[in-house]
Amino acid sequence: MTERDEIAVVGAGLAGCLLACFLARRGYRVALYERRPDPRTGRVERGRSINLALSERGLDALRRIGLAEQVMADALPMRGRMIHPVDGEPQFQSYSAAGTLAINSISRGALNNALLDAAAALPEVRIAFDHRLVGLDPATGEMTFETPTGKTTAVAPVVLGADGAGSAVRGQLLGHGLLTESLDFLDYGYKELTIPPLGGDFALDPEALHIWPRGTSMMIALPNPDRSFTCTLFWPTHGTASFASLGSPAAIERHFATHYPDLPPLAPNLVDDYQHNPVGVLGTVRCTPWQVGGKVGLLGDAAHAIVPFYGQGANCAFEDVVELDRCLDDCADDWAAALPLFQQRRQDNAEAIARMALTNFVEMRDKVASPVFQLWRRVEHALERALPGRYVSQYELVSFSTTPYAEVRRRVRRQHRVLGAVAAGAVAALVGAVGAAVSRGRR
Ligand code: FAD
């Protein structure tokens, strides 16, 4: 690669912008291609605002380029879940034993804009908006883009696809027979609804992620800096109880009054939001390989999109960037070695969080409401306090550490095995003691 060569990053979303910053720091020139117009000058698509829970992995990546503080200025910390039952008062469940650790609610658009600003400020980075990748020759690195003025081409020695779950770069590799993929869509979709400020203040506790667990459906709400909440309703897309089943304003009002009774008084635009906001799809993307010939690579959602129930998609995409940077360090910037190493180090971790995210859907929509689950969380917090650093819950390891996701799964399995053995031993001892007492009583 010559000094004049430019690395191409396709997709100026969260991972793409962060990657451009990291590559520029390594001294590369970067061409960042984005299909959309500059989002900093446009308007947000209705019902697609998405606020993210940003946690330690994402923050760790942002700290490395000096952006964490700025991003956190727009974030709202959430220290736990507030569970809203159908009847009765909401109940708070802390995320950490001490109640101090928090995940952070932030608008995906605001985060993307902060990252775009950071990338655009670097002389090494050139951003081409309105450039939709529609063709890629993986052998030569020649890319074809559709732009408002017609098609255009560009060539790069390395092309990195950070173009999201529906990645065109992945599609091109698939089309050339160089990759296999599986797309597992859930039967569930999601729709955004809004709770505006109430009398100028938050209508709900802003220091919590609110959850309305309803078994086969679920709604969550995250706070925004303007004191509104963005709610996301997860529900099957088809069937008698699904997004498709509410055909009239009266049916919508009835449904929410029955299943989410505290929402309608707080959401005056509920019916309008419901009728006009789109239903998004949810799924898991797996593919392999993540790179071809050390010349074309995938990262972020393009390589491994996951369902959003652990709040980790963006955090994981950011962590990808940190790991790719580390691989370049370890391979002295030899891309042909670094890209396969990146896949080797990240693929198991991506699979681990994909599985944990799917399992967490059941936890969030169902288990969080059960007394057994609540007792289990209290036991876990007690163990964390009693064995600091030795017993750490899965949630803490995922959200408040950078322990590799695959290691989190292994460690949690080990912890549960030990706990199971201790519990079995305690039950056996108890049964023995009761048996001995009964025998003594008979004598
Ligand atoms: P994206 O952010 O999707 O960026 C891809 C970019 O590529 C976009 O700018 C797109 O316009 C561009 N692009 C696409 N195709 C082309 C093309 N052909 N040519 C050029 N450019 C192209 N994650 C969390 O960490 N925490 C959360 O709480 C969380 N909540 C979520 C809630 C919901 C409802 C959803 C849907 C997702 C959530 N996520 C969350 C996941 C998170 O949004 C994604 O994992 C993250 O955005 C992935 O970043 P990315 O850069 O890989 O892809």
What are the residue boundaries of the structural domains of the chain, listed by start? Answer: 6-76+106-183+284-362, 185-281, 371-442
Nearest CA to ligand 1 atom 9: 13
Predicted pLDDT at 45: 66
Contact (CB, 8 A) for 243 and 217: no
Q: How far is the CA of 392 from the centre of ligand 1 (A)?
A: 29
Query: Checking DSSP bridges between strand 6-10 and strand 159-161, what pairing results, if any?
Result: parallel
Q: What is the pLDDT of residues 23-68, one digit of tens each?
A: 999 999 999 999 999 999 876 666 666 899 999 999 999 999 999 9
Tell me how far apart the alpha carbons of residues 316 and 322 are, in angstroms, rounded to a whole number: 10
Which atom of ligand 1 approaches the CA of 58 most closely? 25
Q: How far is the CA of 368 from the centre of ligand 1 (A)?
A: 27
Tell me how far apart the alpha carbons of residues 384 and 59 are, in angstroms, rounded to a whole number: 23
Query: Of the residues 22, 59, 108, which should be mutated to test ligand 1's pocket, given the most ligand atoms within 8 Å of the CB?
Result: 108
Nearest CA to ligand 1 atom 12: 11
Q: How far is the CA of 109 from the centre of ligand 1 (A)?
A: 10
Q: How far is the CA of 304 from the centre of ligand 1 (A)?
A: 11
Tell me how far apart the alpha carbons of residues 58 and 168 are, in angstroms, rounded to a whole number: 25
pTM: 0.94
Whole-number Cα distances in Å, 174 to 178, 285, 326: 6, 13, 27
Which atom of ligand 1 approaches the CA of 190 most closely? 34
Q: How far is the CA of 75 from the centre of ligand 1 (A)?
A: 18
Extract the tokens encoding 122.
């670097």
Contact (CB, 8 A) for 35 and 161: no
Query: Of the residues 50, 116, 290, 307, which should be mutated to test ligand 1's pocket, given the most ligand atoms within 8 Å of the CB?
Result: 50
Residue 171 in contact with ligand 1 by CB distance below 6 A: no
Nearest CA to ligand 1 atom 37: 308
Predicted pLDDT at 364: 85
Residue 34 in contact with ligand 1 by CB distance below 6 A: yes
Tell me how far apart the alpha carbons of residues 60 and 192 are, in angstroms, rounded to a whole number: 29
Residue 299 in contact with ligand 1 by CB distance below 6 A: no
SS3 270: helix
Contact (CB, 8 A) for 112 and 51: no
Q: Which CATH number fits domain 6-76+106-183+284-362: 3.40.30.10, 3.50.50.60, 3.90.1150.10, 3.40.50.720?
A: 3.50.50.60
Q: How far is the CA of 209 from the centre of ligand 1 (A)?
A: 21
Query: Of the residues 17, 34, 49, 185, which should be mutated to test ligand 1's pocket, given the most ligand atoms within 8 Å of the CB?
Result: 34
Predicted pLDDT at 124: 97
Residue 52 in contact with ligand 1 by CB distance below 6 A: yes
Predicted pLDDT at 442: 67
Query: Of the residues 21, 51, 52, which should be mutated to test ligand 1's pocket, given the most ligand atoms within 8 Å of the CB?
Result: 52
Does the interface ipTM go beyond 0.95? yes
Predicted pLDDT at 46: 64
Q: What is the mean pLDDT of each successive set of 10 residues along the chain, which is 443 residues long?
A: 76 98 97 96 70 97 97 96 94 91 96 97 98 98 98 98 98 98 96 97 98 94 97 94 93 96 97 96 97 98 97 98 98 97 98 96 83 84 88 95 97 86 69 70 66
Neighbours of 238 (CB within 10 A): 10
Kindly report whether the peptide bond that precedes residue 196 is cis, defined as omega within 30 degrees of 0: no
Nearest CA to ligand 1 atom 30: 52
* CA-based R_g, the chain, Å: 24
Residues with Cβ < 8 Å from 328, sequence gap 6 or more? 26, 335, 338
Nearest CA to ligand 1 atom 47: 314
Written as one letter, the residue type at 82 is M
Predicted pLDDT at 358: 96
Q: How far is the CA of 301 from the centre of ligand 1 (A)?
A: 6
Tell me how far apart the alpha carbons of residues 257 and 60 are, in angstroms, rounded to a whole number: 42
Nearest to 159 by CA among 172, 151, 145, 169: 169
Residue 36 in contact with ligand 1 by CB distance below 6 A: yes
Tell me how far apart the alpha carbons of residues 339 and 36 are, in angstroms, rounded to a whole number: 27
